[in-house]
Structure 1
Amino acid sequence: MDHIVTVQDAVTVFADFMEPTDVALDAIEQEMPVILADVELLDAQIVTLDRTPSELDERRIRRARRRALAARVALVNRAAGTSLPGGAA
């Protein structure tokens, strides 16, 4: 007879060993400005889901979109700057 094990049991058995590594936490920390900018953009978009966006709403969305794009560009530039040996660009 085969025993049926729930998924929860299988996950909790290994939970102590599946902590994020320091490298993963550092990567999350580096991406945090992008994450926060995306959350701000989503907040601005969610406000307008149930109504017609006003001029102020449209400005808020545009501003949040620009911040999100700027955060992504900054992250890519930082990553490109750190991956090139000797500081060559």
Structure 2
Amino acid sequence: MSHIVTVQEAVTAFADWKEPTDAELDAIEEEMPAILAGIELLDAQITHLDRTPNELDARRVRRAHRRVLTVRRDLANHAAGANLAGDAA
């Protein structure tokens, strides 16, 4: 007979003291537009695959893809601007 036991690390992996730091939460908040744009693109792609695609579905996928690219560009420019502003001193 084999006994079923829990592994302590797996049980305590979500303990209260393992919360994200403020810096991690800030990074998530900064990336949130990219995350939401990616979700929108994924939703459009799933809809496109789920049924016979029509022109509106194709437009929705293209629009979502452009939004992902725009948000990623804006985040990259923002990060580059932050790095340049820090080097000015």
Report the TM-score when normalising by structure 2.
0.82
Q: Number of aligned residue pairs: give it.
A: 83
Give a deviation string over 1:4-56, Cα, whole Å, max 9, x none: 8523x323435122110000000000000000000100110111223231010
Could you tell me how far apart the structure 2 residues matched to 1:42 and 1:34 are?
12
**1:14-53 maps to which residues of 2 (within 5 A)?**
15-53=15-53
Could you tell me how far apart the structure 1 residues matched to 2:38 and 2:76 are?
15
Deviates more, 1:14-23 or 1:52-61: 14-23
Unaligned regions of 5+ residues in structure 2, if any?
none
Percent identical across equivalent pairs? 61
CA RMSD of aligned residues (A): 1.9
Report the TM-score when normalising by structure 1.
0.82
Deviates more, 1:13-22 or 1:74-83: 13-22
Unaligned regions of 5+ residues in structure 1, if any?
none
Q: Which residue matches 2:9?
A: 10
